[in-house]
Amino acid sequence: MENVAIFDSPGKGRGLKTTKELWAGDVIFSEASLAAVVFDSLAERICHSCFRRQDKLQRCGQCKFAHYCDRTCQRAGWAEHKQECGAIKAYGKIPNENIRLVARIMWRLDKEGSIVSDMQLTTLEELEDHIADMQDEEMQEFKVDIHNFLDYWPRNSKQHTIDDISHAFGVIMCNGFTVSDQRGLQAVGVGLFPNLCLVNHDCWPNCTVILNHGKIELRSLGKIEEGQELTIAYVDYLNKSEERQRLLKTQYFFDCTCEHCKNHTKDDLKLGGKEVDGVKPSEEQVKEATDYCFEMLEKMDKSRLNGDYHEVVKICEGCIEKTEPVLADTHIYLLRMWSTLSEVKAYLQFFEDASDYARKMVEGYTKLYHPNNAALGMAAMRAGVNHWQAGQIEIGHGMVCKAYAILMVTHGPTHPITKDLEAMRMQTEMELRMFKQNEYVYHSMREAALKNKPMSMMHEPSSMEEGIKNLFHRRK
Ligand SMILES: [Zn+2]
Ligand SMILES: [Zn+2]
Ligand SMILES: [Zn+2]
């Protein structure tokens, strides 16, 4: 590991710093997991070896639990599954994902020793477990997991002390990294990446982490001077500093003292009022609109979960009509409304509405997020597609280019999503040229294209994006 060194970060414990100057998009390190498992709920839909979603998976003939794309994946996953397979058969049921993950970690370390590769900077033992910080309720579940683990763990495997087992559970409880599918759109499992556990949090970080072809990559978001601490954001920046601090305290057990929290940077934009000709609405007006928005968001979420998309549109548009004149265009509740509406409207094939809302979303995000934030890039991509669908090729191409520039930094050129964007960029560029030459020909071609493949890029609206915003997997 030539790019980084472990050091004592003031007030944060151990941290990682860079030992050389870095630039936007640099891969500081990439790391394979020590172990990873598919979520309980997706065990039959995601390959247990490559974590891809497949319609038809083959079941392990022995335990009937593990599922694979094909023989190749099964063979590739056998070293990790071998002992698990026997243990599940003997246990007679399927232990939950936490237990499966800890067991896989233990088997691996028993076999290969506490350092499994010369890239690994820390042992499991050295990582923090935060057991002392746990609340009663969390502690109860924790004890049940350990109890079940002891029943599951085979007699003929190496036996460990309760302290060692508890420590492993504690580590994955706060440091289990959410593993996404190959496109990074859906959370499908949880894994442990020891080096990543050393990277501390900052609400305005200088790095980002992305899963690419089975390994995580720590990537630089901009220029970083030699010797500076490397940081990632554990929670989404689209929360007020107070809320971020609360989340960090309850989920990761520390008080954030980053610059943005100390100075409440951009908090005024996130729940603020709209200024029109130098006049701002009163505090009461803003509060009233904010509370109303919050109420409607809860109602909307319910309808969305029920798949009642026309109701979602009704709730959102009603709310927007009332609150848009009062609330700032960076208000985080309005942004959520616009984001959902653009998704749902695209699904219902109202492309012009979808593109209008998507544009407002991207404009708001741009004022709030770091210019190289991955969520901003993904939003710009969605807005680009919406505009392209609506036949607004100039804005569409611009959005796709914006997204591409961001994802080249956050995801890198080999990531499947960046490759999608590259193709989209070429397509929209070609169409834009055609549009400038002959608008009429362009529009008739667009119509034909949409008729041929009307449903392409129109996924059913979901809360996927929200899911991936949780970097580390937390129990519900
Ligand atoms: Zn596979
Ligand atoms: Zn099996
Ligand atoms: Zn902070």
Report the separation in Å between the CA atom of 122 and the middle of ligand 3, taken as the mean of its atom positions.
25
Residue 14 parent element (H or E) = strand 13-18
pLDDT score for 465: 46
What band does 424 get if pLDDT is binned at 50, 70 and 90?
Answer: very high
SS3 call for 78: helix
SS3 call for 390: coil
pLDDT score for 461: 54
Which one of the ligands is nearest to 69 CA?
Answer: 1
What band does 476 get if pLDDT is binned at 50, 70 and 90?
Answer: very low
Cα(first)–Cα(last) distance of the chain, in Å? 35
Report the separation in Å between the CA atom of 164 and the middle of ligand 3, taken as the mean of its atom positions.
32
pLDDT score for 341: 95
pLDDT score for 54: 87
pLDDT exceeding 70 applies to what percent of the chain?
A: 95
pLDDT score for 463: 44
Which one of the ligands is nearest to 76 CA?
Answer: 1
Measured CA to CA, the distance from residue 321 to residue 324 in angstroms comes to 6
Per DSSP, the residues of 310-355 read: HHHHHHHHHHHHHHTTTB-TT-HHHHHHHHHHHHHHHHTT-HHHHH
Reply yes or no on whether the pLDDT at 19 is more than 60.
Answer: yes
The residue that leads in pLDDT, 391 or 331, is 331
Reply yes or no on whether the pLDDT at 407 is more than 90.
Answer: yes
All structural domains of the chain, each given as residue ranges with its CATH number in brackets, are 1-33+193-265 (2.170.270.10), 37-184 (no CATH), 267-468 (1.25.40.10)
Which one of the ligands is nearest to 49 CA?
Answer: 1
129-178 pLDDT, tens digit each = 999 998 899 899 999 999 999 999 999 999 999 999 999 999 999 899 99
**Strands, E assignment, 344-419:** none
pLDDT score for 441: 82
Alpha-carbon distances, residue 464 vs 181, 364, 469, 474 (angstroms): 11, 20, 9, 16
| Adjacent-strand bridge partners of 327 | 273
Over range 58-81, report the average pLDDT. Answer: 96
pLDDT score for 464: 43
Tell me which amino acid residue 155 is: R
Which one of the ligands is nearest to 46 CA?
Answer: 1
Name the token pair of 14: 């151990």
188-211 pLDDT, tens digit each = 999 999 999 999 999 999 999 999
77-111 pLDDT, tens digit each = 999 999 999 999 999 999 999 999 999 999 999 99
Q: Do 208 and 2 contact (CB within 8 A), yes or no?
A: no
Q: Position of tokens 């848009």?
A: 324
Reply yes or no on whether the pLDDT at 295 is more than 90.
Answer: yes
pLDDT score for 364: 98
Name the token pair of 161: 């002390």
Mention every residue, 6+ apart, whose C-beta is less than 8 A from residue 304.
312, 340, 344, 461, 463
The residue that leads in pLDDT, 472 or 60, is 60
Query: In this structure, are strands 177-180 and 67-68 parallel, antiparallel, or unpaired?
Result: unpaired
Report the separation in Å between the CA atom of 241 and the middle of ligand 3, taken as the mean of its atom positions.
6
Report the separation in Å between the CA atom of 74 and the middle of ligand 2, taken as the mean of its atom positions.
9
Report the separation in Å between the CA atom of 70 and the middle of ligand 1, taken as the mean of its atom positions.
7
Look up residue 430 and give its DSSP letter: H
Over range 374-390, report the average pLDDT. Answer: 94
pLDDT exceeding 90 applies to what percent of the chain?
A: 82
